[in-house]
C-alpha cells in the first residue's frame, strides 16, 4: 500500500485528471503550499490543462485559488497562464502571476498570513468548495501526515466541502513528527495559546479529515520547487554587518540577552547574508520563531549556533533540500512546522519577543515602509508575514539596499507610495549605508537620522533639501511634508526613468 496505510483511503486512489474533475468553474479552492514547499504537484497541472482546453472552447472556466503562500510555478502561475484564476490569495512572487495581477486580469487579496484562517472560518471569504492538500502518507487509522509546509492546511481540511489529497512519496518519511497541528478556536471561545518557548509543542503531529469528505487521492513522486538564492553580494553583506553590529550592541547594553530572542527572518538574499553572519559571530543557543526555514537557518542549526527553529514551511535551494534530506535525523527534533495562523500569531510573537528582520521596497523619511507596491500601484509579491511580525515583535527591523534599478531610484523617499508598515511598527531601518535606530525618536529626528544613516549619498542632499523646506513651509511641524512634492520623486521616475533631478 506504499504510503497509504488506511484501506478505506487506499480505495480512493485515482488519477490527477480524474481528481481535477471534482473542481468546477467558479469554485473556491484551497491548496496546500507555502513558498515552493508542500504544494500539490499533479492536480493543479491536470486542472490547468483542463481549464486551458475549456477556455480555448470559450467556456470561461476560472476558480478562486487560496493557498498558504505558495509560489510554485506549477500552481498559481500555471492557472493564471490559462486565464484560470478569478481571484488569488494571499501571496505570489513569480513573473506570470505578477503580470496577471498587475494587468488587472486576476484579483489579488494581499492579506496578513495569520489572518487568513480566522477569516475563512468566520466565513467572510465565502464557502470553500474544495481543498487540494499534499501529504506524505496516511496512517492506518486515516490520519494525514503533513508535508514540507503546513500553511493553512488544517483550515482548508476543516472548511472544504470536498477534499483531494496528493500523497507524495518523494518527500522524506522522516518528516513525520516534525509538525505541531493546532487550530485556534473562534471567539468568544479562545484561550491563551500555550507557547512560551519556540520549541513548545501544543498540538498533534498529524492532520485530520472526515474520510467521507475525501473524494480523491492522487499518488505523486515530485520534488518541491527549489528556491533560487543568489550568492551574497557585497551590499547584502554590508547590510548584514550593520545589523549584526547592532545586535551585539544591544546585548552589550543588556537590552537583549546573549542568546538574543527568537529570530524571524524574511526570505531573500539579505536575510540569508544576515543568517550567515550570525553563524560566523559569537552568538550561541539561538532560536527562531519564524515563517520559513531557508538555507541560512538550516546552516545555523547544523553548526549548532541555533538550537531550535519553529516555522510553517521550508524554503530551500536545491542544495538546502539535499542537506535537509541527508541529515534529517539531526534536524528532526530541532525543527517544528506549525499552521501559519500559529507560526505568525501576534500573541505568541509578542510573548516570545521576536526579533523581526524583513526586506522592503522603500521607506520614507518618517519610517513608514512599503513592502509590496512598486511606484504605489504594481504589486511585487505581497505583505506575507511581514506585518504579522513587524507590529508585534520586540524589535522590528526592515532592510534594503539604499538604491534600486542600478541607482536610478532611492529606496529612501520623502513619502512612501504605499504603506504596509506604519512608522509605529518600524523600529530599525538598515541599508548598506548604515543603520537607523528609530526607537524613541520624534518624526523630525527620525527623518534626520534616516537621511544621514540610510540614504545613498547621491540622494542625501535632495532628501535634506526636502526636509529643510518642509520643516520651514509645512502647515504642521510635527511631521513636515510638502504635499505637492511628497510623491514627485516617484512621478519623476515614471516620467524620466530616474528619481534624480
Cα–Cα distance between 255 and 249 in angstroms, integer? 9
Nearer to ligand COA, 28 or 418 (CB): 418
| Closest distance of CB 393 from ligand COA, Å | 11
The one segment of 117-125, 159-167, 401-409, 448-456 that binds ligand COA by CB under 6 A: 401-409
Q: Map the footprint of ligand COA across residues 181-210, applying CB under 6 A.
A: none
Q: Residue 362, interface with ligand COA (CB under 6 A)?
A: yes
Is-catalytic flag, 362? Answer: no
Segment lying near ligand COA (by CB under 6 A), choices 45-53, 74-82, 157-165, 382-390: 382-390
> Which 8-state DSSP code applies to residue 74?
I
CA distances, 179 to each of 139, 174, 262, 332, 488 (Å): 15, 11, 19, 10, 49
What count of residues does the chain have?
Answer: 501
Question: Please, how many CA atoms are within 13 Å of residue 254, restricted to the half-sphere of its CB?
Answer: 0
What CA–CA distance (Å, rounded) separates 50 from 21?
Answer: 9
In whole angstroms, give the CA distance from residue 463 to residue 447.
Answer: 9
Interface with ligand COA in residues 230-269 (CB under 6 A): 266-268
Cell of 115: 489572518
> Using CB under 6 A, which of the segments 41-49, 104-112, 353-361, 433-441 binds ligand COA?
353-361
Considering the rule CB under 6 A, would residue 500 count as an interface residue with ligand COA? Answer: no
- Residue 339 has a CB neighbour count (10 Å cut-off) of 28
Closest CA to 100 of 117, 119, 124, 75: 75
- Cell numbers that stand for 485 in this block: 512634492
CB contact at 8 A, 215 and 22: yes
> Least distance from C-beta 215 to ligand COA, angstroms?
33
Applying CB under 6 A, the span of 37-45, 237-245, 360-368, 460-468 interacting with ligand COA comes to 360-368
Q: Which of residues 32, 171, 287, 386 is near ligand COA by CB under 6 A? A: 386
Nearer of residues 219 and 291 to ligand COA, judged by Cβ: 291
Report how far apart the first and last C-alpha atoms of the chain are (Å, whole number): 69
CB of 304 to ligand COA, least distance (A): 24
The yes or no reply on residue 74 touching ligand COA (CB under 6 A) is no
Interaction between residue 365 and ligand COA (CB under 6 A): no
Residue of 159, 219, 250, 291 marked active site = 291
Residue linked to cell 523617499: 413
Asked if 216 contacts 19 with a C-beta cutoff of 8 angstroms, the reply is yes
Q: Which is nearer to ligand COA, 64 or 410 (CB)?
A: 410
Distance CA 211, CA 217 (A): 11
Contact, 126 vs 86, CB < 8 A? no
Q: Minimum CB separation from ligand COA for residue 343, in Å? A: 10
List 109, 379, 404, 482, residue binding ligand COA (CB under 6 A):
404
Rounded CA separation 157/165 (Å): 10
Smallest gap, in angstroms, from Cβ of residue 182 to ligand COA? 20
Pairing of strands 428-431, 434-437: antiparallel
- For residues 176 and 478, give the distance between their C-alpha atoms in angstroms, rounded to a whole number: 55
Among residues 7, 186, 255, 405, the one that binds ligand COA under rule CB under 6 A: 405
409 makes contact with ligand COA (CB under 6 A): yes
Is 136 or 301 the residue whose CB approaches ligand COA more closely? 301
Binding residue for ligand COA, selected from 411, 451, 454, 486, defined by CB under 6 A: 411
- Binding to ligand COA by CB under 6 A, coded x per residue (else -) over 292-331, reads x---------------------------------------
Residue nearest to ligand COA (CB): 359
Helix (H) or strand (E) holding 314: strand 313-315
Binding residue (CB under 6 A) for ligand COA from 106, 260, 361, 429: 361
Write a three-state SS string for 91-122: CCCCHHHHHHHHCCCCEECCCCHHHHHHHHHH
Alpha carbons 35 and 51: distance in angstroms, whole number: 24
| Residue 359 beta carbon to ligand COA: minimum distance, rounded to whole angstroms | 3
| Count of C-beta atoms within a 10 Å radius of residue 17 | 15
| Site residues (CB under 6 A) for ligand COA, limited to 96-155 | none
433 forms part of the interface with ligand COA (CB under 6 A): no
Residue at grid coordinates 500569531 = 345
CB of 432 to ligand COA, least distance (A): 11
CB 254 → ligand COA: shortest distance, Å? 29
Q: Contact positions toward ligand COA, by CB under 6 A?
A: 266-268, 270, 291-292, 358-362, 371, 374, 380-381, 383-386, 404-405, 409, 411
User: Which residue numbers are catalytic?
Assistant: 291
Amino acid at each position: 500500500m506504499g504510503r497509504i496505510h488506511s484501506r478505506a483511503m487506499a480505495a480512493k486512489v485515482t488519477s490527477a485528471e480524474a481528481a481535477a474533475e471534482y473542481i468546477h468553474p467558479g469554485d473556491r479552492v484551497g491548496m496546500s503550499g507555502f513558498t515552493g514547499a508542500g504544494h500539490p504537484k499533479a492536480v493543479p497541472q491536470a486542472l490547468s490543462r483542463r481549464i486551458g482546453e475549456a477556455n480555448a472552447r470559450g467556456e470561461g472556466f476560472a476558480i478562486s485559488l487560496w493557498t498558504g503562500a505558495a509560489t510554485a510555478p506549477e500552481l498559481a502561475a500555471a492557472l493564471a497562464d490559462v486565464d484560470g484564476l478569478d481571484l488569488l490569495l494571499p501571496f505570489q512572487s513569480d513573473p506570470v502571476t505578477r503580470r496577471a495581477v498587475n494587468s488587472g486580469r486576476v484579483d489579488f487579496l494581499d492579506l496578513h498570513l495569520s489572518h487568513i484562517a480566522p477569516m475563512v472560518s468566520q466565513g467572510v471569504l465565502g464557502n470553500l468548495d474544495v481543498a487540494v492538500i499534499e501529504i506524505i502518507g496516511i496512517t492506518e487509522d486515516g490520519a494525514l501526515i503533513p508535508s514540507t509546509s503546513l500553511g493553512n492546511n488544517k483550515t482548508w481540511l476543516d472548511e472544504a466541502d470536498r477534499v483531494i489529497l496528493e500523497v507524495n512519496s518523494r518527500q522524506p518519511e522522516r518528516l513525520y513528527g516534525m509538525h505541531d497541528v493546532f487550530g485556534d478556536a473562534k471567539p468568544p471561545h479562545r484561550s491563551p495559546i500555550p507557547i512560551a518557548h519556540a520549541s513548545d509543542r501544543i498540538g498533534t503531529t498529524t492532520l485530520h479529515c472526515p474520510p467521507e469528505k475525501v473524494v480523491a487521492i492522487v499518488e505523486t513522486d515530485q520534488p518541491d520547487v527549489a528556491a533560487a538564492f543568489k550568492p551574497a553580494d557585497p551590499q547584502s553583506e554590508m547590510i548584514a554587518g550593520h545589523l549584526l553590529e547592532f545586535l551585539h550592541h544591544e546585548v552589550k547594553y543588556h537590552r537583549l540577552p546573549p542568546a538574543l530572542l527568537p529570530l524571524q527572518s524574511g526570505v531573500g538574499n539579505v536575510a540569508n547574508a544576515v543568517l550567515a553572519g550570525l553563524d560566523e559571530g559569537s552568538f550561541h543557543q539561538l532560536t527562531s520563531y519564524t515563517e520559513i526555514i531557508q538555507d541560512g537557518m538550516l546552516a545555523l542549526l547544523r553548526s549548532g549556533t541555533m538550537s531550535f527553529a519553529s516555522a510553517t514551511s521550508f524554503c530551500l535551494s536545491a542544495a538546502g533540500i539535499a542537506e535537509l534530506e541527508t541529515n534529517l535525523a539531526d534536524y528532526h527534533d530541532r525543527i517544528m512546522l506549525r499552521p501559519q495562523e500559529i507560526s505568525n500569531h501576534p500573541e505568541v510573537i509578542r510573548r516570545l519577543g521576536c526579533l523581526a528582520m524583513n526586506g522592503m521596497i522603500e521607506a520614507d523619511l518618517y519610517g513608514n515602509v512599503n513592502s509590496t507596491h512598486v511606484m504605489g500601484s504594481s504589486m511585487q509579491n505581497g505583505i506575507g508575514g511581514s506585518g504579522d511580525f513587524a507590529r508585534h515583535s520586540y524589535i522590528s527591523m526592515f532592510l534594503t539596499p539604499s538604491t534600486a534599478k542600478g541607482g536610478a531610484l532611492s529606496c529612501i523617499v520623502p513619502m512612501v507610495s504605499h504603506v504596509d508598515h506604519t512608522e509605529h511598527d518600524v523600529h530599525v531601518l538598515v541599508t548598506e549605508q548604515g543603520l537607523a535606530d528609530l526607537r524613541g525618536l520624534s518624526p523630525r529626528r527620525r527623518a534626520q537620522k534616516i537621511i544621514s544613516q540610510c540614504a545613498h549619498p547621491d540622494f542625501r542632499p535632495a532628501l535634506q533639501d526636502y526636509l529643510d523646506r518642509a520643516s520651514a513651509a509645512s502647515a504642521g511641524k510635527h511631521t513636515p511634508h510638502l504635499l505637492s512634492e511628497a510623491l514627485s520623486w516617484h512621478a519623476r521616475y515614471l516620467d524620466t526613468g530616474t528619481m534624480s533631478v
